[in-house]
Structure 1
Amino acid sequence: MDIGHKIKQLRIQKGLTLEELASRSELTKGFLSQTERNLTSPSIATLNDIVEALGTSLSEFFKEDKEERIVFRKRDFFVDERDHCTVNWIVPNTQKNEMEPILLELPQGGESFAMDPHSGEEFGYIIEGSVVLISGEKSYTLHKGETFYLSGKNRHYLKNEKKTTAKVLWISTPPLF
Protein backbone atom coordinates (compact mmCIF):
# COMPACT_ATOMS: atom_id res chain seq x y z
CA MET A 1 0.00 0.00 0.00
CA ASP A 2 1.26 3.47 -0.88
CA ILE A 3 0.54 5.20 2.45
CA GLY A 4 1.67 8.64 1.36
CA HIS A 5 -0.51 8.58 -1.75
CA LYS A 6 -3.50 7.40 0.25
CA ILE A 7 -3.05 10.21 2.80
CA LYS A 8 -2.87 12.75 -0.01
CA GLN A 9 -6.00 11.29 -1.67
CA LEU A 10 -7.95 11.49 1.58
CA ARG A 11 -6.72 15.04 2.25
CA ILE A 12 -7.80 16.17 -1.20
CA GLN A 13 -11.15 14.35 -0.88
CA LYS A 14 -11.79 16.23 2.37
CA GLY A 15 -10.85 19.52 0.67
CA LEU A 16 -7.99 20.20 3.05
CA THR A 17 -4.71 21.94 2.34
CA LEU A 18 -1.47 20.62 3.80
CA GLU A 19 -1.54 23.55 6.21
CA GLU A 20 -5.06 22.68 7.42
CA LEU A 21 -4.14 19.03 7.91
CA ALA A 22 -0.98 20.07 9.75
CA SER A 23 -3.04 22.21 12.10
CA ARG A 24 -5.62 19.47 12.73
CA SER A 25 -3.01 16.73 13.32
CA GLU A 26 -0.56 18.97 15.22
CA LEU A 27 2.22 18.04 12.77
CA THR A 28 4.32 20.24 10.52
CA LYS A 29 3.36 20.99 6.94
CA GLY A 30 6.86 19.87 5.87
CA PHE A 31 6.53 16.50 7.61
CA LEU A 32 3.14 15.88 6.01
CA SER A 33 4.48 16.85 2.58
CA GLN A 34 7.37 14.40 2.96
CA THR A 35 4.96 11.70 4.15
CA GLU A 36 2.67 12.23 1.15
CA ARG A 37 5.69 11.90 -1.18
CA ASN A 38 6.91 8.79 0.71
CA LEU A 39 10.15 10.51 1.69
CA THR A 40 9.48 9.68 5.33
CA SER A 41 7.31 7.16 7.13
CA PRO A 42 5.18 8.12 10.11
CA SER A 43 5.10 6.02 13.26
CA ILE A 44 1.85 4.17 13.98
CA ALA A 45 0.90 6.80 16.57
CA THR A 46 1.59 9.64 14.12
CA LEU A 47 -0.28 7.87 11.31
CA ASN A 48 -3.20 7.44 13.71
CA ASP A 49 -3.15 11.22 14.38
CA ILE A 50 -3.14 11.92 10.63
CA VAL A 51 -6.02 9.57 9.77
CA GLU A 52 -8.08 10.84 12.73
CA ALA A 53 -7.52 14.40 11.48
CA LEU A 54 -8.82 13.16 8.12
CA GLY A 55 -11.95 11.83 9.82
CA THR A 56 -11.24 8.11 9.62
CA SER A 57 -9.59 5.30 11.58
CA LEU A 58 -6.54 3.12 11.00
CA SER A 59 -8.73 0.08 10.26
CA GLU A 60 -10.68 2.01 7.61
CA PHE A 61 -7.48 3.53 6.23
CA PHE A 62 -5.91 0.11 5.66
CA LYS A 63 -9.09 -1.52 4.42
CA GLU A 64 -8.73 -2.17 0.72
CA ASP A 65 -11.60 -2.83 -1.62
CA LYS A 66 -10.42 -5.86 -3.49
CA GLU A 67 -11.48 -5.90 -7.09
CA GLU A 68 -12.86 -9.27 -8.07
CA ARG A 69 -10.25 -11.06 -10.11
CA ILE A 70 -11.70 -12.78 -13.15
CA VAL A 71 -8.76 -13.74 -15.37
CA PHE A 72 -5.75 -15.81 -14.32
CA ARG A 73 -2.67 -16.21 -16.49
CA LYS A 74 -0.23 -19.10 -16.56
CA ARG A 75 2.22 -16.99 -14.54
CA ASP A 76 -0.39 -16.95 -11.71
CA PHE A 77 -0.45 -20.75 -11.46
CA PHE A 78 1.31 -22.57 -8.67
CA VAL A 79 2.78 -25.95 -9.59
CA ASP A 80 3.06 -28.60 -6.87
CA GLU A 81 5.13 -31.56 -8.04
CA ARG A 82 4.32 -34.56 -5.88
CA ASP A 83 5.61 -38.14 -5.97
CA HIS A 84 2.88 -39.59 -8.20
CA CYS A 85 1.32 -36.52 -9.80
CA THR A 86 1.67 -32.82 -10.53
CA VAL A 87 -0.99 -30.43 -9.28
CA ASN A 88 -1.37 -27.12 -11.12
CA TRP A 89 -3.29 -24.67 -8.94
CA ILE A 90 -4.82 -22.74 -11.83
CA VAL A 91 -6.79 -20.25 -9.72
CA PRO A 92 -4.77 -18.92 -6.78
CA ASN A 93 -6.20 -18.71 -3.25
CA THR A 94 -9.44 -20.54 -4.01
CA GLN A 95 -9.95 -21.56 -0.38
CA LYS A 96 -12.14 -18.47 -0.08
CA ASN A 97 -14.28 -19.41 -3.11
CA GLU A 98 -17.17 -21.82 -3.56
CA MET A 99 -15.19 -24.18 -5.82
CA GLU A 100 -11.59 -25.08 -6.48
CA PRO A 101 -10.25 -26.08 -9.90
CA ILE A 102 -6.91 -27.79 -10.46
CA LEU A 103 -5.15 -29.19 -13.51
CA LEU A 104 -3.90 -32.62 -12.51
CA GLU A 105 -1.11 -34.35 -14.45
CA LEU A 106 -0.65 -38.08 -13.90
CA PRO A 107 2.42 -39.75 -15.40
CA GLN A 108 2.44 -43.45 -16.24
CA GLY A 109 1.54 -45.29 -13.03
CA GLY A 110 0.69 -42.02 -11.29
CA GLU A 111 -2.12 -41.57 -8.80
CA SER A 112 -3.90 -38.56 -7.42
CA PHE A 113 -4.26 -38.02 -3.71
CA ALA A 114 -7.18 -39.94 -2.23
CA MET A 115 -10.16 -37.79 -1.33
CA ASP A 116 -11.80 -38.92 1.88
CA PRO A 117 -15.59 -38.77 2.13
CA HIS A 118 -16.93 -35.21 2.31
CA SER A 119 -20.18 -33.36 1.78
CA GLY A 120 -19.20 -31.67 -1.49
CA GLU A 121 -19.25 -32.53 -5.17
CA GLU A 122 -16.55 -32.94 -7.79
CA PHE A 123 -16.30 -32.67 -11.54
CA GLY A 124 -13.49 -33.81 -13.81
CA TYR A 125 -12.77 -33.45 -17.51
CA ILE A 126 -10.10 -35.64 -19.12
CA ILE A 127 -8.03 -33.32 -21.31
CA GLU A 128 -5.36 -35.83 -22.33
CA GLY A 129 -4.83 -39.58 -22.01
CA SER A 130 -7.06 -41.78 -19.90
CA VAL A 131 -7.54 -42.43 -16.20
CA VAL A 132 -9.26 -44.86 -13.90
CA LEU A 133 -11.57 -43.28 -11.34
CA ILE A 134 -11.83 -45.35 -8.17
CA SER A 135 -14.89 -44.38 -6.10
CA GLY A 136 -15.65 -46.59 -3.15
CA GLU A 137 -15.56 -50.18 -4.43
CA LYS A 138 -16.21 -49.25 -8.08
CA SER A 139 -13.80 -48.23 -10.83
CA TYR A 140 -14.48 -46.38 -14.09
CA THR A 141 -12.17 -45.89 -17.06
CA LEU A 142 -12.37 -42.44 -18.64
CA HIS A 143 -10.72 -41.29 -21.89
CA LYS A 144 -9.87 -37.93 -23.42
CA GLY A 145 -12.98 -35.78 -23.77
CA GLU A 146 -14.98 -37.66 -21.12
CA THR A 147 -16.08 -36.35 -17.74
CA PHE A 148 -16.97 -37.47 -14.25
CA TYR A 149 -19.29 -35.88 -11.73
CA LEU A 150 -19.65 -37.33 -8.25
CA SER A 151 -20.68 -36.57 -4.72
CA GLY A 152 -17.99 -36.86 -2.11
CA LYS A 153 -19.75 -39.56 -0.12
CA ASN A 154 -17.16 -42.23 -1.03
CA ARG A 155 -13.37 -42.19 -0.81
CA HIS A 156 -12.08 -41.68 -4.36
CA TYR A 157 -9.00 -41.00 -6.45
CA LEU A 158 -7.64 -41.20 -10.00
CA LYS A 159 -4.87 -43.36 -11.38
CA ASN A 160 -3.13 -43.62 -14.74
CA GLU A 161 -2.53 -47.15 -15.99
CA LYS A 162 -1.36 -46.07 -19.46
CA LYS A 163 2.14 -45.22 -20.73
CA THR A 164 1.26 -41.61 -21.61
CA THR A 165 0.66 -38.70 -19.25
CA ALA A 166 -2.96 -37.97 -18.41
CA LYS A 167 -4.23 -34.45 -17.77
CA VAL A 168 -7.46 -33.83 -15.90
CA LEU A 169 -9.27 -30.60 -15.09
CA TRP A 170 -10.67 -31.41 -11.63
CA ILE A 171 -13.07 -29.09 -9.82
CA SER A 172 -14.16 -29.55 -6.22
CA THR A 173 -16.83 -27.79 -4.22
CA PRO A 174 -16.21 -26.80 -1.52
CA PRO A 175 -12.45 -26.35 -1.94
CA LEU A 176 -10.69 -29.49 -0.74
CA PHE A 177 -7.37 -29.87 -2.55
Structure 2
Amino acid sequence: MTYGEKLRKLRMALDLTQEEVAIRADLARSFISQVETDKTSPTLDNLERILKAVGSTLQAFFSEEEEEKVIYRKSEEVPLYDQPVGVQTTLLMNEVENKKIDALLVTLKPGSKTDEEDYHSGDEFGYVLAGTIHLILDGVDYQCEKGDSFYYRADKKHSVMNQDPTVKAKFLWIKID
Protein backbone atom coordinates (compact mmCIF):
# COMPACT_ATOMS: atom_id res chain seq x y z
CA MET A 1 0.00 0.00 0.00
CA THR A 2 1.40 3.42 -0.95
CA TYR A 3 1.61 6.28 1.54
CA GLY A 4 -1.18 8.09 -0.29
CA GLU A 5 -3.42 5.03 -0.12
CA LYS A 6 -2.63 4.65 3.56
CA LEU A 7 -3.54 8.29 4.25
CA ARG A 8 -6.79 7.91 2.30
CA LYS A 9 -7.63 4.77 4.27
CA LEU A 10 -7.06 6.63 7.57
CA ARG A 11 -9.29 9.49 6.41
CA MET A 12 -12.05 7.19 5.17
CA ALA A 13 -11.99 5.20 8.43
CA LEU A 14 -12.99 8.42 10.22
CA ASP A 15 -15.59 9.23 7.56
CA LEU A 16 -13.89 12.55 6.82
CA THR A 17 -13.89 14.38 3.49
CA GLN A 18 -10.70 15.71 1.96
CA GLU A 19 -12.05 19.19 2.66
CA GLU A 20 -12.43 18.41 6.38
CA VAL A 21 -8.88 17.07 6.59
CA ALA A 22 -7.59 20.11 4.67
CA ILE A 23 -9.30 22.49 7.12
CA ARG A 24 -7.99 20.60 10.16
CA ALA A 25 -4.45 20.49 8.71
CA ASP A 26 -4.59 24.06 7.35
CA LEU A 27 -3.74 22.84 3.85
CA ALA A 28 -5.50 23.04 0.47
CA ARG A 29 -8.04 20.33 -0.39
CA SER A 30 -6.34 19.91 -3.79
CA PHE A 31 -3.05 19.19 -1.99
CA ILE A 32 -4.73 16.49 0.14
CA SER A 33 -6.13 14.96 -3.06
CA GLN A 34 -2.72 14.97 -4.76
CA VAL A 35 -1.08 13.37 -1.72
CA GLU A 36 -3.73 10.64 -1.53
CA THR A 37 -3.34 9.85 -5.24
CA ASP A 38 0.48 9.88 -4.95
CA LYS A 39 0.79 12.77 -7.40
CA THR A 40 2.88 14.68 -4.88
CA SER A 41 4.73 13.93 -1.68
CA PRO A 42 4.16 16.05 1.41
CA THR A 43 6.98 17.55 3.40
CA LEU A 44 7.52 15.98 6.80
CA ASP A 45 5.79 18.97 8.40
CA ASN A 46 2.76 18.67 6.10
CA LEU A 47 2.58 14.91 6.62
CA GLU A 48 2.59 15.45 10.37
CA ARG A 49 -0.25 17.99 10.03
CA ILE A 50 -2.31 15.60 7.88
CA LEU A 51 -1.73 12.75 10.33
CA LYS A 52 -2.74 14.93 13.26
CA ALA A 53 -5.93 15.84 11.35
CA VAL A 54 -6.82 12.13 11.11
CA GLY A 55 -5.78 11.33 14.68
CA SER A 56 -2.50 9.58 13.93
CA THR A 57 1.22 10.15 14.41
CA LEU A 58 4.36 9.71 12.33
CA GLN A 59 5.40 6.77 14.49
CA ALA A 60 2.08 4.98 14.02
CA PHE A 61 2.00 5.78 10.30
CA PHE A 62 5.44 4.32 9.62
CA SER A 63 5.22 1.36 11.97
CA GLU A 64 5.35 -1.90 10.09
CA GLU A 65 2.02 -3.61 10.21
CA GLU A 66 2.26 -7.00 8.59
CA GLU A 67 -0.71 -8.08 6.60
CA GLU A 68 -2.45 -11.04 8.13
CA LYS A 69 -1.50 -14.14 6.23
CA VAL A 70 -4.55 -16.03 5.05
CA ILE A 71 -3.33 -18.52 2.44
CA TYR A 72 -0.64 -21.11 3.12
CA ARG A 73 0.73 -22.63 -0.08
CA LYS A 74 1.83 -26.22 -0.53
CA SER A 75 5.29 -24.90 -1.40
CA GLU A 76 5.52 -23.40 2.12
CA GLU A 77 4.79 -26.66 3.94
CA VAL A 78 7.56 -27.99 6.17
CA PRO A 79 8.28 -31.71 6.46
CA LEU A 80 9.18 -32.79 10.00
CA TYR A 81 12.14 -35.17 9.96
CA ASP A 82 12.41 -36.41 13.55
CA GLN A 83 9.55 -38.88 13.07
CA PRO A 84 9.51 -42.63 13.67
CA VAL A 85 10.14 -44.92 10.69
CA GLY A 86 7.09 -45.05 8.42
CA VAL A 87 5.61 -41.79 9.69
CA GLN A 88 5.64 -38.77 7.40
CA THR A 89 4.46 -35.54 9.04
CA THR A 90 4.13 -32.18 7.32
CA LEU A 91 3.52 -28.87 9.10
CA LEU A 92 0.90 -27.14 6.95
CA MET A 93 1.20 -23.62 8.44
CA ASN A 94 4.72 -22.40 9.06
CA GLU A 95 5.89 -19.12 10.61
CA VAL A 96 2.54 -17.97 11.94
CA GLU A 97 2.79 -15.33 14.66
CA ASN A 98 0.76 -15.96 17.81
CA LYS A 99 -0.75 -19.10 16.37
CA LYS A 100 -2.89 -21.17 18.66
CA ILE A 101 -2.96 -24.28 16.48
CA ASP A 102 -0.60 -26.55 14.59
CA ALA A 103 -2.06 -28.17 11.49
CA LEU A 104 -0.29 -31.37 10.50
CA LEU A 105 -0.78 -33.76 7.62
CA VAL A 106 0.30 -37.23 8.75
CA THR A 107 0.84 -40.27 6.53
CA LEU A 108 1.36 -43.62 8.24
CA LYS A 109 2.85 -46.46 6.24
CA PRO A 110 1.42 -49.92 6.96
CA GLY A 111 2.30 -51.00 10.51
CA SER A 112 3.74 -47.63 11.59
CA LYS A 113 2.95 -45.57 14.68
CA THR A 114 3.54 -41.99 15.85
CA ASP A 115 5.61 -41.45 18.98
CA GLU A 116 3.55 -41.58 22.15
CA GLU A 117 3.05 -38.05 23.42
CA ASP A 118 2.88 -37.40 27.13
CA TYR A 119 0.26 -35.31 28.82
CA HIS A 120 0.23 -31.66 27.78
CA SER A 121 -2.23 -28.80 27.72
CA GLY A 122 -4.53 -28.13 24.82
CA ASP A 123 -6.91 -30.07 22.63
CA GLU A 124 -6.39 -32.18 19.53
CA PHE A 125 -8.65 -32.85 16.57
CA GLY A 126 -8.17 -35.16 13.62
CA TYR A 127 -9.87 -36.12 10.40
CA VAL A 128 -9.03 -39.36 8.57
CA LEU A 129 -8.41 -38.73 4.87
CA ALA A 130 -7.44 -42.27 3.81
CA GLY A 131 -7.19 -45.74 5.32
CA THR A 132 -7.88 -46.67 8.93
CA ILE A 133 -6.06 -45.41 12.02
CA HIS A 134 -6.08 -46.43 15.65
CA LEU A 135 -6.01 -43.58 18.15
CA ILE A 136 -4.56 -44.76 21.46
CA LEU A 137 -5.59 -42.58 24.45
CA ASP A 138 -4.25 -43.69 27.84
CA GLY A 139 -4.10 -47.26 26.53
CA VAL A 140 -7.63 -47.30 25.05
CA ASP A 141 -7.76 -48.07 21.30
CA TYR A 142 -10.23 -46.10 19.14
CA GLN A 143 -10.53 -47.14 15.49
CA CYS A 144 -11.22 -44.38 12.94
CA GLU A 145 -11.85 -44.95 9.25
CA LYS A 146 -11.76 -42.62 6.25
CA GLY A 147 -14.24 -39.78 6.86
CA ASP A 148 -14.22 -40.20 10.66
CA SER A 149 -12.93 -37.48 12.95
CA PHE A 150 -11.68 -37.47 16.52
CA TYR A 151 -11.28 -34.93 19.30
CA TYR A 152 -9.75 -35.17 22.77
CA ARG A 153 -8.11 -33.11 25.51
CA ALA A 154 -4.37 -33.66 25.26
CA ASP A 155 -4.00 -34.33 28.99
CA LYS A 156 -3.74 -38.08 28.20
CA LYS A 157 -0.92 -40.15 26.72
CA HIS A 158 -1.71 -40.45 23.05
CA SER A 159 -0.44 -41.90 19.79
CA VAL A 160 -1.82 -42.92 16.42
CA MET A 161 -1.05 -46.12 14.55
CA ASN A 162 -1.82 -47.84 11.26
CA GLN A 163 -2.37 -51.55 11.93
CA ASP A 164 -3.17 -52.37 8.30
CA PRO A 165 -0.37 -54.50 6.80
CA THR A 166 -0.80 -53.21 3.22
CA VAL A 167 -2.59 -49.83 3.05
CA LYS A 168 -1.26 -46.37 4.00
CA ALA A 169 -3.36 -44.17 6.26
CA LYS A 170 -3.48 -40.38 6.09
CA PHE A 171 -5.06 -37.90 8.48
CA LEU A 172 -5.19 -34.21 9.26
CA TRP A 173 -4.11 -33.58 12.86
CA ILE A 174 -4.92 -30.22 14.46
CA LYS A 175 -3.21 -29.43 17.78
CA ILE A 176 -4.85 -26.55 19.63
CA ASP A 177 -3.12 -24.63 22.45
> Is the 1:77–1:89 contact (alpha carbons within 8 Å) kept by the matching residues of 2?
no
Q: Which amino acid aligns with 1:56?
A: G
Structure 1 partner of 2:151: 149
Sequence identity (%): 27
**Could you say if the C-alpha distance between residues 109 and 77 of structure 1 is closer, same or farther in structure 2, counting changes exceeding 3 Å?**
farther
**Could you say if the C-alpha distance between residues 127 and 95 of structure 1 is closer, same or farther in structure 2, counting changes exceeding 3 Å?**
farther
TM-score (norm 1): 0.59
Distance 1:14 1:171 in 2: 44
* Counterpart check, 1:165 vs 2:168: yes
Distance 1:89 1:107 in 2: 19
> Is the 1:91–1:102 contact (alpha carbons within 8 Å) kept by the matching residues of 2?
no
> Is the 2:124–2:175 contact (alpha carbons within 8 Å) kept by the matching residues of 1?
yes
Q: Which amino acid aligns with 2:170?
A: K
> Is the 2:21–2:54 contact (alpha carbons within 8 Å) kept by the matching residues of 1?
no
Distance 1:164 1:136 in 2: 26
1:27-60 Cα deviation digits (max 9, x unpaired):
x93xx555423356668776433211x2311348
> Is the 1:90–1:103 contact (alpha carbons within 8 Å) kept by the matching residues of 2?
no
Q: Which amino acid aligns with 1:51?
A: L
Structure 2: runs of 5 or more not aligned: 82-86
TM-score (norm 2): 0.59
Structure 2 partner of 1:135: 137
Q: How many residues align?
A: 165
Structure 1: runs of 5 or more not aligned: none
Distance 1:145 1:51 in 2: 54
Distance 2:20 2:37 in 1: 12
User: By how many angstroms is 1:151 displaced?
Assistant: 2.1
Q: Which amino acid aligns with 1:106?
A: L
User: By how many angstroms is 1:122 displaced?
Assistant: 2.1
